[in-house]
Structure 1
Amino acid sequence: MRRRLAALLLAVSCTGFAHAEDFPGIEQLMSAEEFEAAGLDKLSDAERDALDNWLLRYTARDAETLRSTSEDVREAEQEARIEARVRTPFRGWNGNTLFYLENGQVWQQRLEGRFAYEGGDREVILDKNFFGFWRLTHVATGRKVGVKRIR
């Protein structure tokens, strides 16, 4: 549970929300399974709002210190990151691209965009953005695209 809370705080701390209206709320930051497993589905609307407000205040004050000093947070940050290689041929993406990774995972482009690539570098990093959605970064070029895992 500590690791799950650390991961949640990490996700929230990475957001950098400027105003309360920018904060999507804890229910949007977690998957439905995580939300239920944490027991948050049992909270009333007022209790959930209070938790959202606390998270927002926390990220504005203490989150950066926790990110740099907590071993649990550092471990959770590593778990939310995948370093891999795309199987050849890798030619970038074109709007609905499937990415077959050497580790056996398959990811699909979920956001529009095109990127043509002719080089040989196939290293990618998959990590979650501040809203909890996955993105793929082509290491050699720094280009990013939103993805979802297929298998």
Structure 2
Amino acid sequence: MRLARLLPLLLSVVVALPTAAFAADKYVPLQQRMTPAEFKAAGLDKLSPDELKNLDNWLGGHGKVVTKMVDESGKPVFYPSGEKAGPVQAHVQGRFNGFNGHGQFTLDNGQVWQQADSTSFACASDDNPKVTIRRSLMGNWMMAVDGCNDTTSVKRIK
């Protein structure tokens, strides 16, 4: 049972190590990455050649690793199917007039959701209403808006 819990972590490490090693092999020194004006504005022109070399060596060994999950078509996957994502609670930015079958909803947390079905129904108009988005039993996402008696299926696009 313990091994089953550690397996995803071990797999992540196995996937991340080659990526980190590849990033370290591709390190470009600061003087080549920055314009002379940027280099001077950062105060790096004040470093001795040895200090600059040490900084470049350190940066080369501490590359940034970014893991991005995408589906078969290359589109971002925000919640992998095996992940248990809790409900999203936020507010719609701007005016909400109901569901029109193709609406996009930008939330105050930066997420953007789009209606995934063609259902159209009116709700009481409101500015910045609270929304709750929950995963349904079938695995899709359902959006509920305060002041609206119905929910609709949505998909996250950002």
TM score, norm. by length of structure 2:
0.45
- The normalised TM-score by structure 1 is 0.47
Instruction: Report the structure, 1 or 2, having the larger strand content.
Output: 2
Greater C-alpha radius of gyration: 2
Which has the higher relative contact order, 1 or 2, with Cα contacts under 8 A spaced 6 or more apart? Answer: 1
